[in-house]
Amino acid sequence: MPENYRRLLPPVGPSLLASRAPVSRRAESQGLTADAEHVLLHGVLPAYNALVADEQENQMVRPTLLGRPAIRYALAVTVCVYASAAVFSLAAQVPQLRSMTDGVYSAAQAARGQQVYQVQCGECHGMAMEGTTGPPLVGDSFLSNWSGRPLANLIDKIEKTMPFNQPVSLSRQQSADLAAYILQAGKFPAGQAELTEATLAQVAFPTVRTLPAPAASGAATFLPPPEGNLAELMRAIAFPAANTIFNLQIRDPAAQPKKSPASSPFDYVEWGSSVYPGWLAVDQAAIAITETAPLFLAPGRRCQNGRPVPVDRADWKQYVAALVEVGKLAHQTSRARNYEAFVDISEKLNDACANCHKVYRDKGGTEGSGAIRCQ
């Protein structure tokens, strides 16, 4: 071994750490990287020292210095060891998923859920969960709808949206009890422990293989010619739906008292607004925006000034697609009953509307200027 490399090595034993600093300076002068030196000192030497400790009492041992390729190899091995240890450490921290057949709820919990179900849920979902005005909660259709989804999602939906005509009236515990009863009705076995928040993250519905959707026929779908112009369509659907979303900036739908319409004279509009109040109205507004925005692309539709709607232009298609995406986001957030998130969603909706308006509605004039619309 070259003498200049041998001089770099500190003695093995208690003096190793004490000599770390001068060795670093010498190593730097010889072109060794700090990482290579660290592996050399703390990966190779302590191991070598342990092997010879029993044979070399009170004697300084100078191990053979590895060449640079060997140092790089030792460094790579050490990095791999640390990386593997980190992976196994993280894996140990991730909760293990449990199958619903492992008994994730207790029979007592399901019994409590049955009592809640009979009072709150049976009218819509059927006393045997077969589904009436509401969807079934057992069977292939139910399992297909929830295939692979976390059980926590079902409990969230129950807690935040059920019963349909009295949303947010069930507690988190009642929602978990109802989920236990649904699992029991679906023939998933009970266990000893109750379903809790701590175990929810570990449980998901089984994945169900679904049949592929039938192929679309070669015949084009018939669409009747548009009845209204673009302005009329927007005023009928997009305008009131967007205002429902915008209103969430100032009013929490969960805190709105249910209005009682006047008995005389009877007003259908007033009555209708009281049937689906609060978050239900927000759900419907988000769906209306999402489902009807593609109608802005209907062939043959005209603007208010008689010009054709520019349905073939790339930017027009982009504006419609952006509105659809905001509608989907609003619906997803509404179902989560996340009131705080709607400040940001209102901004996104405003931008989606304004980006199109300033190009096609207000082009060259004040808001709503008519003669040069849709150019």
- In eight-state DSSP terms, residue 375 is -
The whole-angstrom separation of Cα 308 and Cα 302 is 4
Listed residues 182, 200, 218: the one ending a domain = 200
Per-residue pLDDT of the chain (375 residues; tens, 9 = 90+): 444 434 444 444 333 333 344 444 544 555 555 544 444 445 444 444 444 444 444 444 444 444 555 545 554 555 454 555 554 444 445 556 888 999 999 999 999 999 999 999 999 999 999 999 899 999 999 999 999 999 999 999 999 889 987 766 799 999 999 999 999 999 999 999 999 999 888 999 999 887 665 555 555 566 789 999 999 999 999 999 999 999 999 999 988 877 776 666 888 888 888 888 899 999 999 999 999 999 999 999 999 888 999 999 999 999 999 999 999 999 999 999 999 999 999 999 999 999 999 998 887 556 555 567 787
Whole-number pLDDT of residue 327: 98
For the stretch 3-53, pLDDT in tens is: 443 444 444 433 333 334 444 454 455 555 554 444 444 544 444 444 444
Q: Residue 331 is part of a domain; what is its CATH number?
A: 1.20.120
Task: Identify whether 247 is part of a domain.
Answer: yes
Q: Count of domains in the chain? A: 3
Apex 226 CA angle, 221 and 231, nearest 5: 135
Q: Tell me: do 248 and 349 sit in the same domain.
A: yes
Query: 269 and 294: one domain?
Result: yes
* CATH number (domain holding residue 111): 1.10.760.10
**DSSP class of residue 109?**
H
User: What pLDDT does residue 7 have?
Assistant: 41
Q: What percent of the chain has pLDDT over 90?
A: 53
Q: Is 12 in contact with 48 (CB distance < 8 Å)?
A: yes
Q: Are residue 66 and residue 85 in the same domain, yes or no? A: yes
Among residues 59, 145, 149, 137, which one has the least CA distance to residue 97? 149
Which distant-in-sequence residues (6+ apart) come within 8 Å of 49 by Cβ?
Answer: 12, 13, 16, 61
Q: 120 and 147 in one domain? A: yes
161 touches 167 (CB < 8 A): yes
DSSP 294: G
pLDDT at 261: 67
Within-domain flag for 108: yes
| Residue 221 located in a structural domain | no
Q: Is residue 210 part of a domain?
A: no
**What is the residue whose two structure tokens read 């429902």?**
244
Print the SS3 string covering 31-76.
Answer: CCCHHHHHHHHHHHHHHHHHHHCCCCCCCCCCCCCCCHHHHHHHHH
Range of the domain at 55: 3-93
Q: How far is CA 45 from CA 11, 71, 221, 222, 268, in A?
A: 9, 12, 77, 80, 88
Q: Is residue 368 part of a domain?
A: no
**For residue 107, what pLDDT is reported?**
97
User: For residue range 260-317, what is the model confidence (pLDDT) as tens digits?
Assistant: 766 668 888 888 888 888 999 999 999 999 999 999 999 999 998 889 999 999 999 9
